[in-house]
Chains A and B, each alone.
Chain A
Amino acid sequence: MATERPNPLFRNKTAKVAAIPMIATALIVFIGGTVWTIVYSFTKSGLLPRLKWVGLDQYERLWDSKRWLISIENLAIYGFLMLVLVFVIGFVLAALIDQKIRFENTIRTVILYPYAMSFVVTGLVWQWILNPEFGVQSIVRGLGWESFTFDPLYNASIAIYGVLIAGLWQGTGLVMVLMLAGLRGIDQDVWKASRVDGIPAWKTYLFIVIPMMRPVFVTALVIVVTGIVKLYDLIVAQTGGGPGIATEVPAKYVYDMMFQSQNLGQGFAASTMMLLTVAIFIVPWAIMEFGGKKRG
């Protein structure tokens, strides 16, 4: 008699058993934690989580809060400029280093070095550099320009750009190295072919090389974007959210609400909004990136 066909659920048992810890972690820690946070964002949890439902109250308060709106605005400004500048500067630096220059190793190391520093150190260093009494302003004034003013961290309307400078200084090196690796991965024959056809170098970069470097760009994008969304330590070290509340960011709002205001519900609501914002960007991209492949 023919043996019974094995249940597909029990095929490849070893592989499935081996995957259990990973699946459990994903379900319990990531998905479970997220669901728990969202559920409690509809409650009036104070110092400790409590299931006392208040509907959308926490969200109403969140979007009424000036500090939250400023946080969102800051993150948008910082995020947009960081994304654009880090890629432009990173790619240009990589392209310049790729011209078979001398001392390439030294220069590459120097530019990458800031990335080895934590955000806390970066924040403190730039706090000093931008301090009008010890930093850039006093040096330039010492050189003779008595009226020179450069104190972004003490001017509420431009303080976020002072943070941006520090963020760029720290992050550009990594993007540059990733780009350089991508450029090195381009077949030299592509360059030879474009030279034969008489295409100028900048056009080759823009229309041939960059499209070929798509995987590198995606990797760099994911790293840079996650760095932007979780922006917290740089702010704490460099400005503490000040002057006033001019450089507050969402992640800091969440922390302060949960642990200083003893208002967990409000913190959960804010973090749910952060998740939602990320999801708005990630989900369409993921569908585009992975959804098509199954059919194709």
Chain B
Amino acid sequence: MKLVSKLLCATALVGAAGAANATDLEVMHWWTSGGEAAAVAEFAKAFDATGHKWIDGAIAGGENARPVMVSRITGGDPMGAFQFNHGRQAEELIEAGLLRDLTDIAEAEGWMDVVNPTTLLDACTLDGRIYCAPVNIHSWQWLWLSRGAYEGAGLDVPTNWAEFVAAAPALKEAGKIPLAMGQQGWQQSGAFNVMMASLVPQDIFMAVYDGKDAEVAAGPEVAEVFAAAAAARDMSAKSTVQNWNDATNLVITDEAGGQIMGDWAQGEFAVAEKVAGEDYECLPGLGTNEFLGVGGDAFYFPVLDDEEQIAAQTELAKLLLSPPVQVAFNLAKGSLPVRGDIDLSAANDCMQKGLALLAEDKLLPETNLLITQDTTTQINTLFTEFFADSSITAEAAQAEFAEIIAKAE
């Protein structure tokens, strides 16, 4: 009898000790390129420092990662936390009650006061409750240019899209690819959206993606954008790489003149030890119409039962937005911090340009916030087709585009 009670007592003690200990928290994301991995390592380091353990669950490519994450959550085997682009991707998971409500944490930490621009938090909010922790601001609207490629061909480095297009033939003659472009739909449609937001007045962009106005999508301004996309198709004809970071590498190694890609490309330049302003240039809004699109990454936390895991989730959510972690993470990733109240003097030229635009409030929402993943994929398919087959005219592609917009919700 005594023995049994002793044993029970010992078991209880062990159990209690376990509860006091830190737990492992599995975090899934799709940050696998050099710069991205360096950035996510900052999160892991900070989280491990709290005594918990970050279990890294990286899956390359958002298109591969999202289905796996969703099936784990809906299949009843949720991870501790996961990264999504904030916006409408997680809408249904929230509606189904599968994601944890973070409103209490947000209030305790004062996210409403520090997150800038506030639209980031709005994108995490559904019916007045907050469901995700935004970690950075990513903007698509950058043209990255290789100084080496242009100077090697005896050309001036372009300062806007028109000059970039004008310099393309000479660059081609010098044996360089004018425009590096990965052959994946999201990159091609992304570049197209950048052109639409930069080359024609911005109310066109909003009319198409926010208003879903098919008449505007079929109109003359968008036709101009499609003509530019057709020009981009010619300029990128020799760029046969698939992944965005392989395309960025063409710019880094002076094989290509430029690339339209989001600010995450900067992480690759950093890993290759290139210096902004010396080795490469960056033009927000294609140099034509300077602004930033406000999208980015956010962490969501599935609803869990285990008390320890829930505590670890809370810890992580707080940590993600804490000032030192924000600085370390965003410097590595090349993105802008979500807090307006931290010092980023260590940022390079390109990030400073971004910060300045952010301060001036020259902002535009990201398409992820405006259209569903379904519509996004349809547009991606259209551009995969358009960029692969030069026999498709800009007019035909525009007609299809207008049809997709007409049916979008």
Contacts and interface: CB of A to CB of B under 8 A. Distances in A.
B259 interface: no
B388 A242 contact: yes
A260 interface: yes
Interface string B359-386: 0000000000000111011100100111
A156 B388 contact: yes
B332 to A, nearest CB: 28
A262 interface: yes
Given A46-B374, A48-B74, A261-B377, A242 B183 contact: yes
Given A47-B70, A244-B385, A262-B372, A61 B377 contact: no
B92 A262 contact: yes
**Interface size range on B against A:** 20 to 34
Nearest 3 interchain pairs by C-beta: A244-B388, A259-B67, A47-B92
A236 to B, nearest CB: 11
A260 B63 CA distance: 6
Given A47-B91, A244-B388, 9 more contacts: A47-B70, A67-B381, A245-B381, A259-B71, A260-B63, A260-B377, A261-B376, A262-B89, A263-B373
A266 B373 CA distance: 13
Contacts of A183: none
Interface of A: 46-48, 61, 66-67, 156, 242-246, 256, 259-263, 266
A31 to B, nearest CB: 23
Interface of B: 63, 66-67, 70-71, 74, 89, 91-93, 96, 183, 372-374, 376-378, 381, 384-389, 400, 407
Nearest to B74: A48
A244 B385 CA distance: 4
B409 to A, nearest CB: 10
Given A48-B92, A245-B381, A260 B67 contact: yes
A261 B373 contact: yes
> A48, A242, A262 — which one has the most chain B CB atoms within 10 A of its CB?
A262
A47 B377 contact: no
A245 B70 CA distance: 26
Nearest to B392: A244
Contacts of A266: 374
Nearest to B93: A47
B96 A262 contact: no
A142 to B, nearest CB: 21
B407 to A, nearest CB: 7
A244 B381 CA distance: 8
B384 A242 contact: yes
A246 B391 CA distance: 13
13 contacts: A46-B374, A47-B70, A47-B373, A66-B385, A242-B388, A243-B389, A244-B385, A245-B385, A246-B389, A260-B373, A260-B377, A262-B89, A263-B373
